[in-house]
Structure 1
Amino acid sequence: MDRLHRQVGAVGLAAAAVLPGLSAQVDQHAAEVRDLLGVRGRRPTLTALASYTDGLLDGATGRGWQPPQHDLVGWAGADGVAVRLLALCALVTSAVA
């Protein structure tokens, strides 16, 4: 999760703070992840988030997906995998806060 935060989360969360559309997408993906993990209305555990993230990354990289190299503006057009990973970074950040 630390590597993911360095590759995707740090710049992506900063972009979401200034791009309302991206912020809304991240919120939607975070809600979907909470629903998938069966923790609606609660914070998912770090273990559950890490396991889900590993599965998502394995599937995405198996299809040739690469982590984005976006600057702040580039995040406006981020693909669904990148936004889902960004939502996971946001969930982890809130889980450890």
Structure 2
Amino acid sequence: MGWLSGAQQADYARRDLSILAERLRAAGVSVSALGPARLAGLDQHAAAVRDILTIDGGTLGIVELAAYAQGALDAAAEAGWTPETHTPATGCATTEWIVLRLLAVCALADASSADDIPDIDPLLFT
């Protein structure tokens, strides 16, 4: 997406994450349905995603969150899991991990209030 403007990238990222959140809700997966232990796990996943994306000076923007979510979805699909094939009763550790990781990304995106558009120095154009 390097040819897209920062605003377009952010718009597409927000759309993708909104669609992901809706796919998860349709599969019966939501933060409100989590018990205390799973909420603690969600918090740990959110911290891990923050650490992964900000290591070495990276940013925790909407575009980075959407890219991370897409990578996680791709890996899950290779393992045979999608939100549409999810069944809450499976109890599989891998399924639990991907569900919590994707919910954490969606929660971070919801909590993110900063635009992902870099500031441009107006002095560059004088």
Give the % identical residues: 38
Comparing both chains, which one has the higher relative contact order based on Cα–Cα distances under 8 Å and sequence gaps of 6 or more?
1
Q: TM-score when scaled to structure 1?
A: 0.77
Q: Over residues 10-66 of structure 1, what are the superposed CA-to-partner deviations in whole Å (9 max), with x where a residue is unaligned? A: 8411113xx101110100000000000016xxx820001001011111111012112
For this pair of structures, how many residues does the alignment match? 88
Q: Provide the rounded CA distance (Å) in 2 between the counterparts of 1:55 and 1:11.
A: 19
Q: CA RMSD in A?
A: 2.5
Larger Rg: 1 or 2?
Answer: 2
Residue 89 (str. 1) matches residue 106 (str. 2): yes
- Where in structure 2 are there 5+ consecutive unaligned residues? 1-16, 115-126
The aligned amino acid for 1:51 is A
TM-score (norm 2): 0.60
What is the one-letter code of the residue matched to 1:13?
V
Change (3 A) 1:33 1:11: same
Deviating 4+ runs (over 2 angstroms): none
